[in-house]
Amino acid sequence: MRNDVRELRLAAGLSQRELAGALEVSRQTVNSIETGRYDPSLPLAIAIARHFHRTVEEIFHVD
């Protein structure tokens, strides 16, 4: 599944570590989500969407 997490994070001026701290996950998890190697659970996807004031569908795209 593709996502726009990296673009949104960079637009917000956040590092992976800062975003990970806000979401209460590890930096490796943020990196894995951004590179598409890990699809987050629904609760984490919703937390990411809320963090960027978007909907889940606006951030995550089914290939």
Partner 1 sequence: MSTDGRTHKPTPPIVGGALAVLALVIATGLLLREHAPGNMGSGFLVGAAVAMLGGAVMWWRATRSPGRASTFERAWTQTGDERDDAVLTRALAVLGLLAVPLTGVAAIAIGLGAAVEMVLALLLAAEVAVGAIAFVVVARRS
Which one among 18, 32, 51, 56 touches partner 1, defined by CB under 8 A?
A: 32
Alpha helix segments (H runs only) across the chain: 5-11, 16-23, 27-34, 42-51, 56-59
- Which region among 4-12, 39-47, 52-60 touches partner 1 (by CB under 8 A)? 39-47
Output 41 or 62, the one with its CB closest to partner 1: 41
Alpha carbons 27 and 57: distance in angstroms, whole number: 23
Quick one: 38 exposed, middle or buried, by C-beta within 10 A (0-12, 13-18, 19+)?
Answer: middle
CB of 18 to partner 1, least distance (A): 12
Output 4 or 38, the one with its CB closest to partner 1: 38
Binding positions for partner 1, rule: CB under 8 A: 17, 24-29, 32, 37-38, 40-41, 44
